[in-house]
Structure formats: structure tokens, C-alpha cells
Chain A
Amino acid sequence: MINYQQPDGQGHFGEFGGRFVPETLMPPLLELEKAYLEAREDESFGMELERLLRDYAGRPTPLYEAKRLSAALGGVRIFLKREDLCHTGSHKINNTLGQALLTKRMGKRRIIAETGAGQHGVATATAAALLGLECDIYMGEEDMRRQALNVFRMELLGARVIGVSSGSRTLKDAINESLRDWVSSVGQTHYCIGSVVGPHPFPMMVRDFQSVIGREAREQLEEKGLPLPDCLVACVGGGSNSMGLFYPFIHEPVRKVGVEAGGTGSQPGEHGSTLCYGEIGVLHGAKSYLLQDERGQVMATHSVSAGLDYPGVGPEHAHFKERGLAEYVNVSDEEALEAAAELSRREGIIPALESAHALAYAIKLAREMGRGSSILVCLSGRGDKDVEIMRERLRGEKSVENSESLSNSSLTKMLSRSARDV
């Protein structure tokens, strides 16, 4: 059994993490850390969060055995932790309810957040509506265009969506703009970061809120009389659902695999594989791995899945990688799309493209592992938001301007093939 006590008092996970922020943010980060540590020890806070997670967000989420998928893959047992069944459609609500409660506890009236595809934005706007907080969401203009429906969803929930036109106009820039807002508004405003990234205490706090995924999965395995799985698989953008799954298994000899966005290739700008191809650097307040050029400038990224389209990664994952506590791999856009189609057809579950990355790697693993072994996959979100892009890519039907189609791809062939054998 390993000894694991991270982070240290300054928010370091080994050499990673910390607080690399302007002085204006230091006092509020220290205040937030104090408030969070107090809340964590306060039974009433824990009970309130548990109540909301149960009665409002729909926890516990099922641990579902995907038997038809297992059978098609040669008999390795595949379990899905169904975070896609959470209210708002992804695991993001676990964190936003926690942080929104903390916002109230700190006496702040406004909450801001960044969002890529819109999952975290919707989850934040939802928690804000529930608890009566004013809510502003920063979203890259490119992402607003790609996810117009989610923009309206947030507005419907009473949030204001602020377009970000700087830089690459995606998630990274939405975080920059949220940090700029927070520097100016910190007295009354809490910044609800959506992943295990950012300065201390965010990576620790988001990990703790998301750990409900792994804790529940353990309890459910036990209830079903099942042994620990051989392998845990989850996707990694910033890394919140994977950390939430892995962390409660940290002391167990269970293989942990984080799956990054392999995009269209291994060249700069073609992927979002920070841990696979990146180098150590400092972005958004923490030292971690980073996709950067030789001058220390942050590089463009690509993924078919907006939630994995990010050049950084949570510092605790960097620490896991360094200590060999987890392994990090990637799968391509195409493999993720294939996996999404496979799960839809075999199990009647349309996964988010983020989660489809984890699934694609689990499918590869299942083919290598022997009958009788088992894999637990975090199905972090539902695929409704991605149906449009799946239609374009899987059937070659182009309905959104500016996107490449794969009309003659192996995907189309695979779809007709799997249609035949079902």
C-alpha cells in the first residue's frame, strides 16, 4: 500500500500545483482555502451537499454492467459508472453544487465560471439558480458558435453568457477571462473552476467534490459482491472525472488509465494530449504539464470533443504520472467517434465524446485482457450535446459550416457493418 498525502500545505502535489497568481488573487485564495477546509470538517455542510446530490442531482448514479458490449469484446466485464445520468447530463454538477454551497457559506452573492462545450457552464448556472446566486459564464466565441443550444440553456437558467473573443476563443481563453473578472470582482464573487486545475485550493477541492464518483463505485461493487476491477479508465481534459474516479482507489492495486484527446495526430495543434506529449510548465495558476512551444508560449490544441480541447491538465495528474500512480494514453478523434457509435448500438447509451475517449481505450484494453478480468469506465457525460457533430462525422452529413467531413471514412463503413451484424 502506498502512502499518499497530497497536496502539502502550499497546495503542491510533489513538484506540481501551487499558486502562480497575481497578488490580488492571493488573499482570496487563502480565504477560500480556509473556508473550504472549515466546510469540509463541518458535518452540516457535508449533509447539505449530500442531500442536494441525492434529491436534486440524482445520486447515486448507477454502476451498470455493459454485458452486450462485454460479449462483443470477448468477455472482459465492463462496468460503466453512469455520471451521464446526473442532473444536467454530466459529472460537473457534483462540483458546482459543492462550490455554490461554499459560495453561499462565504457570503458571496455572485458566481462566475468558464465553460468549453457548455457542460460546466450549464452545471454552474443550474447550481446558481438553485441557490439564488447571480451567475456569469465565460465562453469562447468559437465554442458559443459550436454549442449554441447550450448557450441558450444557460440563459434559460438565468445566467449571463459572456463571449470571449481573445486568443483561440475556446476554453483556455474563457479561463483567462474568468481570472481577469475574478481579479476585479473578488470581494463579492466566487470563481467556480470546473476541473482539477487552477491554483490551490481548486485542484484539491474539485477532486474532493468529484471523489463521490469513485467512493460510490466502490460501495456499489461491494454491494454487488464484486471484487475491485482490474482497471479504471476515464478521460482526461483538465481531469476532474478521472481524478474523481481514481482518487478513492489511490491505495488499491488497481490499474488507473487516463485517456487524453489524441485528435488527428501527434503534431502541435492536432491534439490535446498534455500528459502524453507536453512538458512541465505553468498555466492558469498551477505548475503541471503543458502543451507549449520552445519559447514557453501555450500551443493551440484540437479535439473533436470540446471538453478535452485544453492545453493544460490538473497538477495532481502530473504528480500521478511522475509517481507512476496512473498511466496516461490517448485515442484519436476517430476512435472516440467509433466508440460512441459502438456504445449507442450495443447498449442504447449515447455517450458524450469526452467519455467516448475513455470507452475507446477500454475497448482496446478489453481486447488485450483475458476473460474474467474487469474494467470500470467513467461514463462522465451524455452525448446529446454531441449528436450534431456525430451526425456530421459518422454519416458525413455536413450541417454546420466550417467542419471537415469524413464521408468516406472507416466510420461510415463501420456503421453500415455494425448495422448488419446487430
Chain B
Amino acid sequence: MSRKYKSRIEQCFAALRGERAALIAYLTGGFPGVTACLEIASRLISQADMLELGIPFSDPVMDGPVIQETSRLSLERGCGVEECLGLAAELRRGTEKPLLLMSYYNPVFRYGLEGFAAAARASGVDGVIVPDLPPEEMDEWGKTASKHGLDTPLFISPNTPQERIRIISEKASGFLYCVTTMGVTGLRPTLDSGLSSLIARARSCARLPLAVGVGVSSPQQCGEAGKMADGVIVGSAFMRAALDALERGESPAAMVEHLAWRMRRSLEEILPQTGEFTI
């Protein structure tokens, strides 16, 4: 999508280009409570390059046990779209880094696409990720989002055929979300060996930055993924660390910040192969 200005997301990738992959940290909005979430988010964004705030949903079919659990806890505390927009607005006061919202489609649809996009923009949000909105169904949202200057990253996965990757990359903006493996979010012992071939296929036809996500569980895996891609998305690992800290009666924010620091270090220690994305 061509625009006169560069979005914060585009600027972020452009600034890191040739240096290292961007670290995109996911956090379930409202977990483990709105105030505590704001503290975790602030500490995460101090280490990461972008923050993805997940709006909790009652039926997160793309998520494994960890994010199911954080979503449940967040919903129990009454958190939803409004609270996540509030969190984004609060975070925006303290940072110029890109903020994304992640939401299953129903809460967005129920809020109203136009109203949601306008409110997200007003809260300083730069992009919205909707995991259950494939290109076939995204036209209305795509138009609305772009009218409000929001990027909409779309997913590709190891089983996405080449021609689909091309179509998806034309409809996506911000970056392409490359799913490492066939499966839901969660922790895995190793990165899927098929990842490099997906990245290679995406590079051959997509002009957007490529961010790798789903299953990136450790700093070591983060570093490996960062060698191939322009960005690495880490979610369940942070949420697991926060849940563990809570269980031990420790500060989840400190735990998560330390892990984010290690994740970022893993990206700084390697020289990435930069693709031909143009922004």
C-alpha cells in the first residue's frame, strides 16, 4: 500500500535495517490487571522495539494454553476493547515506539469497524493484527484501517502457497507475520526447520518486512529467527514468565523486562540478512 508518509512501524523497520531484527513483544491487555499490565507493558517497551497488545477474547482459537490463561485472567478482571484502548493511550504518552493491537475479529466487529479504527488511532495505535481475518474477508476492515492510517499486518504460514503469499503481501501493510510452524501460539523446544524455506519463499515475492512469530520461546530461538527475518514476535514466553513470577509472588514486570532484554540481546549479537523490503 502506498502512502505519502511512513508509519511508525515502517520507520521502525527502516531504522533497524542492516543492523538487527526488530523485537516485537506481545502482552495480553489487562493481564494480570489493568494497572499491573501497564507496568509490564512499560517495562517491555523499554526493551522491545514494538509492542503488541492483545485484546482478550473468550474463544482464542489461535492461542495455546499460556495465552488462553492470560486471556481468561484478563477477562475475569473485566478487561476488553475499551480498557486496551485506554492502555494504548497511556503507553503512547511515554513512548514513540510502534504500538499494535491484536484482536480476534468479533470484538472489533462488535465495536464497529469504523469506531474501532478511529478509537485505535486516537489512542496512538499504529497497527492492528486480526488473526482470524484472512485476505478473503478483510476488504472492509482493510479500507477502514487504511483510512485511519493503521497498518494491518497479515499472516502467512508454512502451508501458504506461493501465489497466496503474493496476494497476502499485497493486502498487508506494516509487515508480514510469518508463522514459524503449523500450530497455535505457545512454547516449543525448537524452531521449526521449515521456517527458513517459508522466509525464502516470502522474500521472493513480498516487499514488506518479514516478522517471525508463534512458538519463539527462548533468546536462543529469537536469535536464530532474527538471522532470517526483519522482526521477531515473542508472546507466550513473556506471558509464561509473568505467570511464573505471579505464582512465586515475584514481580512479573521485572521478570518480563529481564527476559525482553535477553531476547533483544540475542538479536544484537547477530548480523541479520536483510531482505529487499522497500518502505
Contact = CB atoms under 8 A, between A and B. Distances in A.
Interface string A231-267: 0000000000000000000000000000000000000
Nearest to A28: B159
A297 B108 contact: no
Contacts of A296: 57, 80-81, 106-111
B80 A27 contact: no
A292 B59 CA distance: 11
B155 interface: yes
A295 B157 CA distance: 30
Nearest to B63: A180
B58 A180 contact: no
B127 to A, nearest CB: 17
B179 interface: yes
Contacts, number: 111
Contacts of A28: 159
B109 A23 contact: no
Interface string A284-297: 11010010101111
A283 B108 CA distance: 12
Report, as a range, how many residues of chain A touch the other chain. 35 or more
A279 B111 CA distance: 12
A187 B105 CA distance: 26
B59 A298 contact: yes
Nearest to B75: A297
B164 A26 contact: yes
Interface stretch (B39-47, B130-138, B219-227, B233-241): B130-138
B161 interface: yes
A208 B132 CA distance: 26
A24 B108 CA distance: 21
A172 interface: yes
A329 interface: no
Interface string B158-186: 01110010001000000000010011100
A184 B182 contact: yes
Interface stretch (A14-22, A103-111, A138-146, A364-372): A14-22
A167 B109 CA distance: 22
B132 A20 contact: yes
B155 A23 contact: yes
Contact of A295 (B107, B134, B136): B107
A418 interface: no
B154 interface: yes
Contacts of B109: 280-282, 287, 296
A60 to B, nearest CB: 38
B134 A23 contact: yes
B144 to A, nearest CB: 16
Contacts of B82: 295
Nearest to B168: A23
Given A24-B183, A166-B72, A187-B182, 15 more contacts: A19-B134, A22-B62, A22-B155, A23-B154, A23-B157, A24-B179, A26-B164, A180-B184, A183-B182, A184-B182, A295-B110, A296-B106, A296-B109, A297-B58, A297-B107
Interface of B: 57-62, 64, 68, 72, 75, 80-82, 105-111, 131-134, 136-137, 154-157, 159-161, 164, 168, 179, 182-184
In the A-B complex, the 4 residue pairs with the closest CB atoms: A296-B110, A296-B107, A295-B80, A23-B155
27 contacts: A18-B137, A20-B137, A21-B134, A22-B61, A22-B134, A22-B155, A23-B154, A23-B179, A26-B134, A27-B159, A27-B160, A27-B161, A167-B59, A173-B59, A179-B61, A180-B61, A183-B62, A184-B184, A187-B182, A280-B109, A282-B132, A283-B59, A287-B109, A295-B81, A295-B82, A295-B110, A296-B107
